[in-house]
Amino acid sequence: MDIYFYGQACIKLKGKTAQVFIDPYKEEFTGLKLPKDLSADLALSTHNHDDHNNLNAITESQLNITGPGEYEVKGISVTGVSTFHDTEQGAQRGRNTVYNVGIDGLNVVHLGDLGHPLSEGEVDEIGTTDILFVPVGGVYTIDAKVASDVVTQLEPKIVIPIHYALPGLKFELDPLENFLKEMGFENAQPQPKLSITKDKLPEELQVVVLSKA
């Protein structure tokens, strides 16, 4: 499987037989640019904010998923778990869906705009986590410290930070460096994509930084 990062929380998973887009944004809202090829078999939005909900931009999608539940398309399984966008049970920013995507034998978890530490029940619902996309920019989501705690809760093999300050982004978020320092991976170098298979998962936790494609 190949993983690409397009800024904010937008991710593409390119599996052997299918592709998944998660949290495509509206360019005029974020100031960031999406790729030209937006075709995918499955499109997911973690919540209905303009930097996460542009599913209409995804072409050829057989199913658009916008909330909790269990789904399956072309051998890809998706479990959506309801969480909150803030620390006040959604009173400030509403709900957020965490997705566990089963693709190519891997469990890929995208936390969207998670705004709080996970409860034991939420950790159980999310289940096995091989690769974790975690927001780290604070302000609207968990910050570097809480993100580190959530990593400990879910015990992934690979962590990919998302939702942090980028050149051109129209709103202020904390820099990526805060999270890398918290995790002890200050020397992590950005790479254009991550190519990974189940048998190549590391034994020790790794933080992988993806440059914006």
> What predicted TM-score, i.e. pTM, was given to this entire model?
0.95
* Mean pLDDT, the chain, integer: 94
76-107 burial, b at 16+ Cβ within 10 Å, e below that, comes to bebbbbebbbbeeebeebebbbbbbbbbbebb
Tokens representing residue 98 in the block: 């965490």
Q: CA 56 → CA 64, 76, 95, distances in Å?
A: 9, 20, 21
Would you list the domain boundaries of the chain? 2-207
The answer to whether residues 192 and 158 touch, using CB atoms and an 8 Å cutoff, is no
Q: Comparing C-alpha atoms, which of 158, 204, 143, 201 is closest to residue 5?
A: 158
Look at the alpha carbons of 4, 135, 144, 198 in this order and tell me if their dihedral is positive or negative.
Answer: negative
What is d(CA 179, CA 185) in angstroms, rounded to the nearest whole number? 8
Query: What CATH superfamily classification does 2-207 receive?
Result: Ribonuclease Z/Hydroxyacylglutathione hydrolase-like (3.60.15.10)
Map tokens 């991976």 to a residue: 185
Count of alpha carbons within 13 angstroms of residue 211, beta-carbon side: 5
What is d(CA 162, CA 149) in angstroms, rounded to the nearest whole number? 16
Q: pLDDT per residue over 73-112, tens digit each? A: 999 999 999 997 768 776 677 689 999 999 999 999 999 9
Q: What is the pLDDT of residues 150-209, one digit of tens each?
A: 999 999 999 999 999 999 999 899 999 999 999 999 999 999 999 999 999 999 999 999
Q: How many CA atoms within 13 Å lie on the side-chain side of 26?
A: 8
- Residue 2 structure tokens: 């190949």
pLDDT at 90: 67
